[in-house]
Amino acid sequence: MAEPLLQIEGLSAGYGDVRVLWDISLAVEPGEIACIVGSNGAGKTTLLCTISGLVRASSGHVRMAGEDITATSVDQILERGIAHVPEGRRLFRGLSVRDNLMLGAYLRRDNAGIARDLDYVYSLFPILRERQRQDATTLSGGEQQMCAVGRGIMSRPKLLMIDELSLGLAPMLVERLSEALLEINRSGITVLLVEQDVMTAFEVARHGFVIETGRVGMCGATKDLAEDPAIRQAYLGM
Amino acid sequence: MSDTQRYVAFALWVFALASTPLWAENYTVRMAILIAMFTALTLSWNFIGGLTGYPSLATAAFFGLGSYVGALLQGAGAPMLVAWIAATVFVGVLAAVFGVIILRLRGHYFAIGSFGLVEVLRLVISSWGSLTGGGDGLNVPLVQGGPNAVAQTFLAVMVVIMVIVFVVTVLVDRGRLGFGLRCIQQNEDAADMVGVDTTRFKVYAFTLSALFCGTVGAAYASWTGYIDPTDSFSILMTIKVPVMCLLGGAGTLLGPVVGTATFMILEEIVWANFLDYNRAILGAFTVALILFLPGGLLRIDYRNLVTRFAARPGRSGAPA
Amino acid sequence: MQYLQLLANGIVLGALYACLAVGFSLVWGVLNVINLLHGSFIILGGYLAFFAWHNFGIHPLLALPGVALILYGIGYVTQLMIINRVVKEPVLVTLTLTFGLDLILYNFMTVYYTATPRRVTLDLGHIELAGVFMPVDRLFGMLLALLLTGMLYLLLRTSRTGRAIVAVRMDNAAAALMGIQVERIYAITFGIGALMAGAAGAIFSMVFPITTNLAGDFLGKAFVVCVIGGLGSVPGALVGGLALGVIESFAGQLFGPQHALTVGFLLMMILLIVKPTGLTGIKGYE
Amino acid sequence: MTVSLLSLDAVSKNFGGNHAVSNVSFTLKEGEIVGLIGPNGAGKTTLVNVITGVQRASSGRICFGDLDVTEQRPYQAARRGLARTFQIVQPFPAMTVLENVAAGALFGGAQSSRAEATDVARKNLEFVGLAGFADRPASALTLAGRKRLELAKSLAMQPKLLMLDEVNAGLNASEIDGALTLIRKIAERGITILVIEHLMKVVMSLAQRLLVLHHGQLIADGVPTDIVDDPRVIEAYLGGKFAERLKGIRQHG
């Protein structure tokens, strides 16, 4: 088996006195789409924040392509190829769609490459090209999510982490975004998707990790997880 | 430290200040008067800035207003004590009115709004020359007696005011009001949710923080015999008072007392020895305090309310 | 015709106010720090320009870039080494810190420069148009102030660093995820704030006599402009500055010059209560 | 005949052009346990905010008993007996657990002195199983502990109506069971309960009646067994694809 792109070993983290993650271990293979599912408040967002360096790990390791990045700063981690699309889009108010996308490429200096990737984002989500001069926060929810994902791609990451792709979106839009995600993945970017909507996550991802109260409860191929009676009971309502 | 120990410590301090005429020369007595006066001001500020967590910069507004009201009444022939009490009441009422208006602001905006009070009142007083003498200032009838007797009188006055504010602080702190204010300081929205009438409580705290500044101002005017707008509405005072409180520990009972004493004694030493650079040294001291002693001398407390983590969107709702 | 003259005076003054306040406003908006050093930065800029002219005969226009650069350096280092350590603390902490720093700077300025009023006198004469009398150095100062404010606006709108500053202002955690080093952007922003203050001071030294005693007044103006115009935005500072300039000019005529400031402050208090987002309605922080 | 405790009449809440809650009407009867469900972003929390006065309704009327409370402030809601817990817990972090609960008793409940409030607080801490943590600072509790603290604080306010906003979020299976038992015990005291959840499963066993919110609109109001079969609910809640699959499973199974 090839070396995993992202490998997490025994990771614990939290805020102040409150520990949120307990001894998390998981691995994401290069080229795949993996997902992390679990209920509200289970620690999924904290896990992504710890990977991207926003939250400090109290113990354990995060490795990217074999390199330990646990104590690395946020910008360094982005430089190593991990982009994090945060929960709730978090687009910059007062800046246009184009400026928001360009901020995704903040660390890059290859103007030709940036222009090419901007074109790629626009081809992926043509509506963004139409609206490129508009204040990004005036877009509809679905368009904002497209912009947020596009902004993530603009750093040309090896691994794209998306927190709650489907949050607050109509099912049709979720489907549209899922297709785009598959397209992005085909272009060679590994994806780690965090979702509360287990159905959507299992549909697009190959491997899944179930997080319960800050621990990895179950993991495996999503098609197996979808058949697991406990998961069907707890998350699929069947 | 138990509450009883705190009271004993405070009583000893009161005794030390009050007894200065017995064992020290005039210079020290004057110092004791100023310490008692500023302690009353910091204890007052503690109601709004410490207990409630609102960064008020209005101390000088109420001090100045009190001194002018007291001076004008005395000038009009009112007995000294009556003038002081009237000044206290007047300032209290006005503070309640201002409070209703500016306590809707939070954070920086509240700080500016409260600071704006100082500026606006100073400008009004200096513009209203016909009543206040404008920039020329105002003379206050002098207290009869030799310098020693006058000093002893005002030492007694300031110490009594200081003790009164301390006692009020203890009463508030132990009662429903103090509990509610602490809730507001910790999380104003949550306080609202458990049934604290936050607007009313904040106005109470603001009024309490103003009342005794008015008394102190009026007494100060009688003591010095002359006031002017720049001195009464002093920007330095309005910032020094919170700094002293932070130094001791905001929101605590003894913090303002310890902070004021430490700060003023240090300031005096600096003044005496480095005349040219006294402000710079004061500044360096303030910077060092913020960087190395953020919780004050007594305890680290107010910092806890800002342990917000980076990933929360925008600014959290906690009163900062 | 008198009104035209008052309006012209107000606009000239207003442009200077805008330039004086825009850095203060930017720092407040982006860092959420009220920088009490701002007034002293303005004086320092003015003094540096004055002494360059007085001692070395350097024309203020030539000195301006140098003055601006020195102030930028001072601002950058101050933020990076000192203020960044407590930048996320409550208002009172950062306020007290900048107050302490201001005491230090102010003290050194009074010791080395004393409080003597100083002014660069260029003797450019005056012009008269439609009955409006205007000294040329003032006009010149106004244009320079507008130019600098405009340049800052362009920097924020079009440059990569400008975008990063706006991004940090709007959402600093999301900005960090873009690879932006937030603390460095804070330092740059504070540097720009000091730079604008220094430039404003240099311009002022050509128009009015400057003394250290004015530091507090300048700071007060910056507050008023900020609250009138709205926080952290360049257009806001421009609108606020011009509004304050014109209001002071007319209020001085109506109520006497000693009341001009009172009216400005009263207006600030009213706006603060009624419309904390300022006249432009560009939303700052709560 | 049971009396209506809370009634909403055509309540809407707009933010700018965004209709977070639109034209919602329902009634809660005394002693009921009702579930308010809907996908994330459906407007559930906004609705609770409007009921408790945190946000003012853009239009419509809210009555608590006979009283029109549309314009009330949060502290008035608390004193009138409308208590709530927050999705994101809101303790007074530097205070002890006991003080947190005592604050609820003193300001929201009927207690007039701090001593009495502390007594009530102790009882409620015992009830939720936090008695052992009374003197610890609230910030030291785990998430599950904080949720219990929220509950104790709300109970100390002696509410007539308790709104629980995602009390189970972030809890594991056994913790959820514990919480459900607790909620049933609270209901036995005669307190009307509105459980706000995005997971249907949690409320199914608990609620006598379900309200379903979707894009700010109330799309269903009925007993749980009917709700799960309501095609509109399935569509809105689970997405078209899943609804089809569910149909398939039902047909085969």
Per DSSP, the residues of D98-116 read HHHHHHIIIIISS--SHHH
Q: How far apart are CA B279 and CA C100, in angstroms?
A: 9
What is the structure's pLDDT at C152? 95
**Domain encompassing residue D200:** 1-72+162-171+194-253
Question: What would the pLDDT profile of C48-58 be if each residue is shown by its tens digit?
Answer: 999 999 889 89
How far apart (Å, rounded) are the C-alpha atoms in residues B197 and C205? 52
State how far the Cα of C267 lies from the Cα of C159, in Å rounded to an integer.
Answer: 35
**Closest partner residue to B123 among C95, C104, C261, by Cβ?**
C261
What pLDDT, on a 0 to 100 scale, did the predictor assign at position D170?
65
Q: Which of A54, A84, A99 sits opposite C163 (nearest CB)?
A: A99
Window 100-139 of D: residues touching B by CB (8 A cutoff) are: 102-104, 106-109, 113-114, 139
pLDDT tens-digit series, residues B126-156: 888 888 888 788 888 888 888 888 999 999 9
Report the percent of chain C where pLDDT is more than 70. 96
Residue D251 has pLDDT above 70, yes or no: no
Cα separation of D161 and B257, whole Å? 46
* Structure token pair of residue C34: 């009220």
Q: How far is A226 from chain C (nearest CA, A)?
A: 32
Q: Is residue D20 part of a domain?
A: yes
Residue A133 φ then ψ, to 5°: -90, -10
Let me know if D71 is exposed, middle or buried by CB neighbors in 10 A (0-12, 13-18, 19+).
exposed
Q: Which of B13-17, C218-222, D44-48, D219-223 has the highest mean pLDDT?
A: B13-17
Please report the sign of the dihedral spanned by the C-alpha atoms of residue C95, residue C100, residue C101, residue C106: positive
- State yes or no: pLDDT of B305 exceeds 50: no
Task: Evaluate whether B135 touches B126 at the Cβ level (below 8 Å).
Answer: yes
B284-288, C129-133, C147-151, D240-244: range with highest mean pLDDT: C147-151
Tokens read off for B203: 């106005």
For A194, the token pair is 């965090």
Cα dihedral B175, B181, B183, B187 in deg (nearest 10): 180
- For the ranges A12-16, A106-110, B229-233, D184-188, the lowest mean pLDDT is seen at A12-16
**To 10 degrees, what angle do helices C91-113 and B235-248 make?**
130
User: If you write DSSP's letter for every residue of C167-231 in order, what string do you get?
Assistant: HHHH-HHHHHHTT--HHHHHHHHHHHHHHHHHHHHHHHHHHS-B-GGGHHHHHHHHHHHHHHH-T
Please give the backbone phi and psi of residue A191, each rounded to the nearest 5 degrees, phi first: -125, 135
> Which chains pack against D, by 3+ Cβ pairs within 8 A?
A, B
Residues facing D33 on adjacent strands? D193
Residue A148 pLDDT greater than 60, yes or no: yes
So what's the pLDDT on residue A1?
Answer: 53
A238 has a pLDDT exceeding 80 = no
Task: Please report where in the chains the tokens 């400057």 appear, as a residue.
Answer: C210
Percent with pLDDT over 70 in chain B: 92
- What single string gives the DSSP state of each residue in A125-190? SHHHHHTTTSBGGGS-HHHHHHHHHHHHHTT--SEEEEE-TTTT--HHHHHHHHHHHHHHHHTT-E
Q: Are D160 and D82 in contact (CB under 8 A)?
A: yes
Grade residue B39 by pLDDT with cuts at 50, 70 and 90: very high
Q: How confident is the model at residue C1 (pLDDT cuts 50, 70, 90)?
A: low
Partners of A9 in beta bridges: A61
Q: What is the DSSP letter of B320?
A: -
The residue among A159 and D203 whose pLDDT is bigger is A159
Determine, for residues D238 and A199 on separate chains, whether the beta-carbon distance falls below 8 Å.
yes
| Across A112-127, average pLDDT | 96
Query: Are A41 and D146 within 8 A, CB to CB?
Result: no
CATH number at residue D202: 3.40.50.300
Q: Give the pLDDT score at A227.
A: 85
Residue B266 has pLDDT above 60, yes or no: yes
Residue contact A75–C170, C-beta within 8 A:
no
Does some domain include residue D9? yes
Residue A62 has pLDDT above 90, yes or no: yes
As a whole number, mean pLDDT of residues A11-24 equals 85
Residue bearing the bigger pLDDT, D241 or A234: A234
Q: Pick the range with the lowest mean pLDDT from C158-162, C177-181, D91-95.
A: D91-95
- Which residues of chain C does A107 touch, with a Cβ-Cβ cutoff of 8 Å? 178-179
- Local confidence band at C18 (pLDDT 50, 70, 90 cut-offs): very high
Q: In CATH, which superfamily holds the domain spanning A1-81+157-238?
A: P-loop containing nucleotide triphosphate hydrolases (3.40.50.300)
Percent of chain D predicted with pLDDT > 70:
87
- C and D in touch (3+ CB pairs within 8 angstroms): no
pLDDT category of residue D172 using cuts at 50, 70 and 90: low
Q: How far apart are CA B99 and CA B90, in angstroms?
A: 14
Among left, alpha and beta (phi > 0; psi -120 to 50; other), residue C114 is left
Tell me the shortest Cα–Cα distance from B173 to chain A, in angstroms.
28
- C-beta atoms of A90 and C164 within 8 A: no
Residue B146, pLDDT score = 84
pLDDT category of residue B314 using cuts at 50, 70 and 90: very low
Identify the residue with better confidence: A157 or A168.
A157
Answer for the pair A3, A31: CB distance below 8 angstroms, yes or no: no
Mean pLDDT for the stretch of residues D140-148? 81
Closest alpha carbon to A54 in A82, A35, A73: A73
Measure the CA–CA gap between B223 and A211, rounded to whole angstroms: 71
- Report how far Cα D154 is from the mean position of its chain's Cα atoms: 11
Pick among B308, B309, B315 to test the A interface (most A CBs inside 10 A): B309
Indicate yes or no: CB of B280 within 8 angstroms of CB of C103: yes
Q: What is the 3-state secondary structure (H, E, C) of B103-150?
A: CCCCHHHHHHHHHHHHHHHHHHHHHCHHHHCHHHCEECCCCCCCHHHH
Q: Calculate mean pLDDT across residues C74-87.
A: 94
pTM confidence score: 0.86
Rg for chain C, CA atoms, rounded? 18
What is the band of B319 on the pLDDT scale with cuts at 50, 70, 90? Answer: very low
Evaluate whether A34 touches A209 at the Cβ level (below 8 Å).
yes
What one-character DSSP code corresponds to residue A193? E
Domains of chain B, residue spans: 3-235
ipTM of the complex: 0.83
D199 touches chain A (CB under 8 A): yes
Band (pLDDT 50/70/90 cuts) for residue C280 is low
C225 pLDDT band, cuts 50/70/90, is very high
Within chain A, all domains assigned CATH 3.40.50.300 are found at 1-81+157-238
Cα–Cα distance for residue pair D172/B189, rounded to 1 Å: 28
Q: What pLDDT band is residue B250 in, cutting at 50, 70 and 90? A: confident
Which of B307, B309, B313 has the CB atom closest to A88's CB atom? B313
Q: Is the pLDDT of residue B309 over 50?
A: no
Chain B residues whose CB is inside 8 A of the C269 CB are 113, 116-117, 120
Sign of CA dihedral B26, B28, B31, B32: negative
- H/E stretch holding D60: strand D59-64
- Say what the pLDDT of residue D240 is: 54
Q: What percent of chain B has pLDDT above 90?
A: 60
Summarised one tens digit per residue, pLDDT across range C146-160 is 999 999 999 998 899
CA distance B317 to C179: 26
Asked whether residue B73 carries a pLDDT value surpassing 70, the answer given is: yes
B residues 58..117 contacting C (CB < 8 A): 101-102, 104-109, 111-113, 115-117
Q: Which residue has the tokens 């804070």?
A: C186
Partners of residue A55 in chain B, C-beta under 8 Å: 309-311
> Residue D246 has what pLDDT?
55
pLDDT at C248 over 70: yes
Task: Report pLDDT digits (tens) over A26-46.
Answer: 999 999 999 999 877 788 999
Q: Residue D15: pLDDT above 70?
A: yes
Average pLDDT across chain A, whole number: 90
How many residues are given for chain A?
A: 238
Residues A188-216: pLDDT tens digits?
999 999 988 788 889 899 999 999 888 89
Are A222 and A206 a contacting pair, CB within 8 Å? yes
Residue with tokens 């080093």: C181
Tell me how close the Cα of A50 comes to any Cα of chain D, in angstroms: 18
Query: Do residues A128 and A99 make contact, with C-beta atoms less than 8 angstroms apart?
Result: no
Residue C274's pLDDT band (boundaries 50, 70, 90)?
A: confident
Collect contacts of B307-310 with beta carbons under 8 A, ≥24 apart: B307/A15, B307/A16, B307/D93, B307/D139, B308/C88, B309/A15, B309/A16, B309/A55, B310/A49, B310/A54, B310/A55, B310/C172, B310/C173, B310/C176
Q: What is the full DSSP assignment across A87-139?
A: TT--PPTTSBHHHHHHHHTTT---HHHHHHHHHHHHHHSHHHHHTTTSBGGGS
Q: Where are any strands of DSSP class E within chain B?
A: 138-139, 226-227
